[in-house]
Amino acid sequence: MARILLVEDNKEFRSMLRALLQEAGHEVVEAGDGQAAIEHLRRTAYDLLVTDVLLPQADGTEVIKAVRGVNGKISIIAISGGGRELPAVVALALTEALGAHRTLFKPFRDAELLAAVKELLPVASS
> What is the residue-level pLDDT of the chain in tens, covering all 126 positions?
899 999 999 999 999 999 999 999 999 999 999 999 999 999 999 999 999 988 899 888 889 888 888 877 899 998 987 655 556 566 666 666 778 888 888 889 999 999 999 999 965 444
What's the confidence (pLDDT) of residue 42? 92
Q: What is the largest CA-CA distance in the chain?
A: 39
Query: Which DSSP string do the residues of 25-91 spell out, in sequence order?
Result: T-EEEEESSHHHHHHHHHHS--SEEEEESS-SSS-HHHHHHHHHHH-TT-EEEEEE---SSS-HHHH
Q: Return the exposure string of 72-84: e unless at least 16 CB atoms fall within 10 Å of the residue's CB, then b.
A: eebbbbbbbbbee
111-121-27-66 Cα dihedral, nearest 10 degrees = -110
- Is residue 122 reached through a cis peptide bond, with omega within 30 degrees of 0 on the bond before it? no
What's the confidence (pLDDT) of residue 90? 64
Under the phi-then-psi rule, with left for phi > 0, alpha for psi from -120 to 50, and beta for the rest, what region is 83?
A: left
